[in-house]
Amino acid sequence: MISSRRIVPLLGLAFFVGFLYTISSISNQWRRVPQTVGLGEMVNSPTPTPSGRFNTTKTDDYVTKEPYAPPPQYLPGIPKPDGSPYSKTLVVPQAGDEDTTWMEFELPDWQTAVYVVDDPSAPLHPPKNKGHEVMVYLSYIIEHYHELPDIIAFMHSHQFAWHNDELFFDGNAAEMLRRLNPARVIRQGYMNLRCTWAPGCPDWLHPGAMEEDETKQEETMLAKSWGEIFPDSPIPDVLAQPCCAQFAVSGDRIRSIPKARFVYYRDWILRTELSDYISGRIWEYLWHVVFTGENVVCAKEHVCYCDGYGMCFGGEDEYDAYRGLGFQRNDLEEELTRWRDHAETIEIARLRGTLSQNSKLSVPEPGKDIELEEKIVEKERLLEELRANATLRGEDPRARAKEAGRPWKEGDGF
């Protein structure tokens, strides 16, 4: 029989061993939880599997396929009744002397969140100027996760740019946002602000590519990056959406994704050894994956313009005809440019006295420039007429629903 003097030390030893085991178990669980940047340690980089089927995270003595946060639930949103207001915020990065004052004057019904990337003393600024607009977009989501408006548009700071669709005169971002249909953003949850497929659709990036393409340098880095960013998802064969990291998201869609995931994504930007340029380019073709769960999101252009911006051409064939007319105008403008360049070369040769009968320079067809100018004006007139008709047609909710291929009902929203 064990004496009472021996029982006390044995009980103490058993309690101590049990305490150590409990602490060890809790520590192993917390190793898998990503921590906030600046408030704790960085999460370890996940290791991609060679097969690409699943990406696993290794710990000291086991491998787990558990995700770093619960999987998102991508559910369609329900628009407000017709005429109801939506709260809207425009999020943009700003660097140097970039002008953002146009937002205040052009978009009075939008709130703005301008993150100054190169001034840590600014009211809104990211933790680090890295990853181009990615750091700003993620910082806004993390900082405003529990107080998001109905709709958030993430864009670059300039008002006029080539990547803003040419259907909006001179690529005007203000016109694009004024036309934006909140109901489509709510229904879809995520909407790329660019409708035109090129560049980016329908078959753009291939994460398994081995040879570098100068036009998409991020392609060869995607497989490893995917394994780090989405450790619980298989590596896709193709990633595609219209360029160029400008999109609108509903607040509900953002909140359907655990905040921990956005913290994890921002941690990746901060810790990756990839350059600022490449890490930003990689994310240009990941936003649709984050907010839709789909690897390819290429909405038909005529549907995007009609349901997204109220510019309805009447169907895909009619929209293609409009685009074809635009290509014809572009060809005429190029021909006119060549004629003028040729005429200028001839005039310079004449003034220098080097133009002679033996000259190999041919004189451009007289009057051809006037003929081309008249044709261009006529094409522009036809294009403007079609745009005006498309805008008028887009005011009819039934026409929008029909072109978008969805049923219409009263109160369906723009």
Strand-pairing partners, residue 172, are: 160
- What would the pLDDT profile of 245-280 be if each residue is shown by its tens digit? 999 999 999 999 999 999 999 999 999 999 888 898
- Give me the chain's average pLDDT, please: 83
Same domain? 274 vs 332:
no
CA distance 373 to 335: 10
Q: What local confidence, expressed as pLDDT, does residue 313 receive?
A: 97
- What would the pLDDT profile of 73-110 be if each residue is shown by its tens digit? 899 999 998 889 999 999 999 998 899 999 999 999 99
Backbone dihedral angles phi then psi of residue 378, each to the nearest 5 degrees: -65, -40
Write down the residue that tokens 């953003």 correspond to: 185
- Classify residue 36: in a domain, yes or no: no
Among candidates 285, 113, 83, 114, which has minimal Cα distance to 200? 285
Return the ∠ at Cα 329 (arms to 369 and 341), rounded to 5°.
Answer: 35
**Long-range Cβ pairs for the range 139-147 (8 Å, 24+):** 139/115, 139/266, 140/91, 140/113, 140/115, 141/254, 141/259, 141/262, 142/259, 142/262, 142/263, 142/266, 144/113, 145/254, 145/255, 145/259, 145/262
The tokens of 413 are what?
A: 């929203």
CA distance 3 to 65: 50
Q: Which helix (H) or strand (E) holds 382?
A: helix 368-393
CA distance 142 to 174: 26
- Classify residue 280: in a domain, yes or no: yes
The tokens of 399 are what?
A: 């026409």
- What would the pLDDT profile of 143-161 be if each residue is shown by its tens digit? 999 999 999 999 999 999 8
Q: Compute, in degrees rounded to 10, the torsion defined by CA atoms 172, 174, 180, 185.
A: 100
- Classify residue 259: in a domain, yes or no: yes
Of the three residues 273, 299, 325, the one that is the final residue of a domain is 299
Write down the residue that tokens 């939506």 correspond to: 86
Same domain? 235 vs 375:
no
CA distance 222 to 199: 18
pTM, two decimals, is: 0.79
- Classify residue 159: in a domain, yes or no: yes
Angle at which helix 316-352 crosses helix 368-393, to 10 degrees, equals 150
Per-residue pLDDT at 335 exceeds 80: yes
- What would the pLDDT profile of 165-223 be if each residue is shown by its tens digit? 888 877 899 999 999 999 999 999 999 999 999 899 998 888 877 677 767 777 788 88
Tally of domains in the chain:
2
Same domain? 275 vs 351:
no
Of the three residues 246, 272, 299, the one that is the final residue of a domain is 299
Same domain? 327 vs 281:
no
CA distance 176 to 178: 6
Confidence category of residue 8, pLDDT binned at 50, 70, 90 = low
Amino acid at 222: L
Same domain? 289 vs 322:
no
CA distance 373 to 217: 40
In sequence order, what are the residues at sequence separation of 6 or more whose Cβ sits closer than 8 angstroms to the Cβ of residue 400?
A: 306, 307, 310, 312, 394, 408, 414
Return the ∠ at Cα 207 (arms to 202 and 211), rounded to 5°.
Answer: 100
In sequence order, what are the residues at sequence separation of 6 or more whose Cβ sits closer than 8 angstroms to the Cβ of residue 397?
A: 82, 408, 412, 414
- Residue 381's domain comprises 316-404
The region that residue 46 occupies, defined by phi over 0 for left and psi between -120 and 50 for alpha, beta otherwise, is beta
Write down the residue that tokens 């309805």 correspond to: 312
Q: What local confidence, expressed as pLDDT, does residue 204 receive?
A: 82
Same domain? 394 vs 283:
no
Among candidates 301, 199, 184, which has minimal Cα distance to 242? 199
Same domain? 160 vs 132:
yes
Write down the residue that tokens 């041919």 correspond to: 362
Q: What local confidence, expressed as pLDDT, does residue 17 receive?
A: 54
CA distance 87 to 150: 5
Average pLDDT over residues 297-321: 96
Q: In Å, how far from its chain's centre is CA 285?
A: 7
Residues in the chain, total: 414
CA distance 411 to 256: 25
Same domain? 325 vs 276:
no
Per-residue pLDDT at 68 exceeds 90: no
The tokens of 304 are what?
A: 């995007």
Same domain? 277 vs 247:
yes
- Classify residue 190: in a domain, yes or no: yes
- Classify residue 269: in a domain, yes or no: yes
